[in-house]
Amino acid sequence: MASMSKIMIIGNVGRDPELKMTGQGRPVCEFSVAVNRVTGRGQGGEREEQTDWYRVSCWGKQAETAQQIVSKGRLIFVSGRFQAREWTGKDDVKRTSLEISADDFQLLDSRRDREGMAAAAPAGAADDAAKFDPDEIPF
């Protein structure tokens, strides 16, 4: 029987990509992606948000493309293979790293849209966005 492991995420790029070469001369590009999720309501009745961070690796030609077009803050879709790695830091604390070896990625915003939205946002728009509650949508 065949098996498959696949992960798909949509989030914001947390740091600009770094392009490196393996010992065999194969390009690899690494960057991080932050994925926010609402976990419910806190004691004060406000929505609680948590952020999961993923390390993303792209290989070969895809790595070179990622290094050229991906940048911090961009909204991105990534699909690939998922792997959780445990490691011990310099402070002897055990940590977990969530890593994705990307099969594919796609930018979901355009740089022009991002810059235009920031310039065109009316005063008070941030306050309105903070008051929005998706649980109030009737469908």
In a domain, 43, yes or no: yes
> CA end-to-end span of the chain, whole Å?
39
Percent composition of the chain: helix, strand, coil (DSSP 3-state, to 5): 20, 50, 30
What's the domain range around 54?
7-136
Tens of pLDDT, residue by residue over 9-40, are: 999 999 999 999 999 999 999 999 999 988 77
* CATH at 74: 2.40.50.140
Q: Note the pTM of the prediction, 2 decimals.
A: 0.70
Task: Count up the domains in the chain and report the number.
Answer: 1
In a domain, 71, yes or no: yes
Cα 80 to the chain's mean position, in Å?
13
Tens of pLDDT, residue by residue over 37-94, are: 887 777 777 888 899 999 999 999 999 999 999 999 999 999 999 988 887 888 999 9
Tens of pLDDT, residue by residue over 91-137, are: 999 988 889 999 999 999 876 666 655 544 444 444 444 454 555 55
In a domain, 95, yes or no: yes
Specify the 3-state DSSP secondary structure of 22. Answer: coil
Residues forming a β-bridge with 87: 95
